[in-house]
Structure formats: C-alpha cells, structure tokens
C-alpha cells in the first residue's frame, strides 16, 4: 500500500522557490563569467588572465560537484549507466533537437529576418580571431560540456524533484521548459517556442528513465556540435 502524499506547507514552497532561484543564478554563472573574461581580455595583463582562468576552473569544478552532491542527496532518482540502447535513443533525441533548431531558425528568417536567436548572437558576438586562446577553450568547453551538465542538474534534476511530486509529469515539463526558454533570451514568440521545445525534449529524455545522465548526454550532443563547429572555424582563422 502506497503512503499518502504529504503536501508541503506554504513556507516550504516559498523556501524551495527561493532555493531554485539561487540555483538558476548559479547555473548561468560559469558561462557568463567566461563571457566576461572574453570582453575584458584587452584590459587584463597576461599573468592575470591565467590567474582568472584558474579561478574560473576552480569555481566551475566546485559548482558541478556541489550541485551533483545536492542532487544525489535531495532526490529519489538513481543515476543509471548509459547502455548502447540509451545512447541510440539519445541520438534520436539529439536529431529531434536539431530539427527544432533548423525549423526555428527558418521561421526566424521568414518572420523577423533574423539569422539567429538573440542567445546565439550573444554567444557569437566576439571576433574569434581576437579571443585569447585559453579563453576560447574554456568558453567552448563551457558551452559544449559544462553548461549542459549544470543546466540538466538544475532544471531536469533539482528543479523537477524539489517542486513536484514524482507522479507529476506534464506540469514539470511545462514549468521547467518555460523558465529554460526565458533564460535563453527568448525575445519573440518563435524563439520562445524553439527554446521551450528544446527544454521539453530534454525533459522527456530525462523522464524516460528518470535518469539525469540521459538528458545530460542529449544536451552535450546538441551543444557539443556547436562547440566542434566553433573550434574548426577558430583553427581555420588562426591558420589563415
């Protein structure tokens, strides 16, 4: 016989919401800090650049370890290993994400005459040829690997388990995807729907086995493609 659900008090709900707000701010700090390094590099001496890189690495490692430990302690999820079948399904989710991105970009071009979303434009605002190499590396690693891990831990892991009962499926999909979309700079209905759909697909990847490793894999595949393309372009610029 299942135990009855115990609904949290209003005070607990408010505290949990404040916690999530803090987690969300924390989740976007590594990528934002790496962007700040890029913007301020011309005013920063070389020795200080390396010190700041060391601080960024230490902060990012601490962030991942702390969020991972919090997720393990405060949720009932079990992190399952990825089998070949799971990797194959992850690839299908990844293909779906690319379809969403392509359709969204085409819609942006047709309706708003934009070639990319404001979020993508911000990420590509710096001239690659002028970026200090180590800054370029940490920025791309952050986009391709760090951000997917942190965002999945916060949005699909901690967020879902802290605010919603385990039997809830549709509501957490909606809420986490809406916030995920707004945090990615949705400036119009098309970009909102595009990032909302991306968040929903990542949530479904997590929900399939309630396994955070599954959504992390899909997210890394998606962002990793951008990281690889960016790196190739950077190498071509350097060689020329």
Which pLDDT tens digit goes with each residue over 223-240?
A: 998 889 888 888 888 787
Residues 6+ apart with CB under 8 A from 59: 29, 30, 33
| Largest CA-CA distance found in the chain, in angstroms, rounded | 69
pLDDT at 15 over 90: no
Which pLDDT tens digit goes with each residue over 103-138?
A: 999 999 999 888 887 777 666 666 666 788 888 899
More confident residue, 124 or 96: 96
Distance CA 82, CA 205 (A): 12
Q: Which sign, positive or negative, has the C-alpha torsion 194, 197, 202, 203? A: positive
Which pLDDT score, from 0 to 100, does residue 184 have?
A: 84
Residue pair 223/216 in contact by the 8 Å Cβ criterion: no
Q: pLDDT band for position 67 (50/70/90)?
A: very high
Mean pLDDT value of segment 6-10: 63
What is the enclosing helix (H) or strand (E) of 190? helix 189-207
pLDDT at 192 over 90: yes
Distance CA 231, CA 128 (A): 9
| Global pTM value | 0.90
Rounded to the nearest 10°, the torsion over CA 222, 224, 225, 229 is 150
Mean pLDDT value of segment 84-98: 96
pLDDT at 17 over 70: yes
DSSP at 153: I
DSSP at 129: G
Q: pLDDT band for position 1 (50/70/90)?
A: very low
């Amino acid at each position: 016989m299942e135990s009855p659900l115990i609904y949290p008090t209003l005070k607990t709900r408010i505290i949990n919401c404040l916690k999530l707000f803090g987690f969300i701010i924390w989740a976007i700090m590594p990528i934002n800090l790496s962007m700040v390094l890029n913007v301020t590099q011309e005013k920063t001496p070389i020795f200080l650049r390396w010190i700041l890189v060391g601080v960024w690495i230490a902060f990012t490692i601490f962030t991942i370890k702390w969020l991972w430990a919090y997720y393990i302690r405060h949720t009932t999820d079990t992190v399952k290993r990825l089998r070949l079948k799971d990797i194959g399904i992850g690839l299908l989710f990844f293909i779906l994400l690319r379809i969403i991105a392509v359709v969204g970009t085409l819609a942006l071009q047709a309706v708003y005459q934009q070639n990319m979303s404001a979020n993508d434009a911000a990420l590509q605002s710096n001239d690659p040829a002028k970026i200090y190499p180590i800054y370029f590396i940490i920025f791309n690693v952050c986009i391709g690997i760090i951000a997917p891990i942190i965002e999945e831990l916060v949005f699909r892991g901690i967020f879902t388990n802290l605010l919603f009962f385990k039997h809830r499926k549709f509501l957490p999909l909606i809420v986490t995807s809406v916030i995920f979309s707004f945090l990615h700079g949705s400036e119009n209905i098309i970009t909102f729907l595009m990032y909302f759909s991306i968040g929903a697909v990542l949530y479904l990847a997590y929900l399939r086995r309630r396994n955070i490793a599954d959504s992390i894999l899909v997210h890394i595949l998606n962002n990793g493609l951008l990281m690889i393309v960016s790196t190739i372009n950077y190498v071509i610029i350097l060689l020329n």
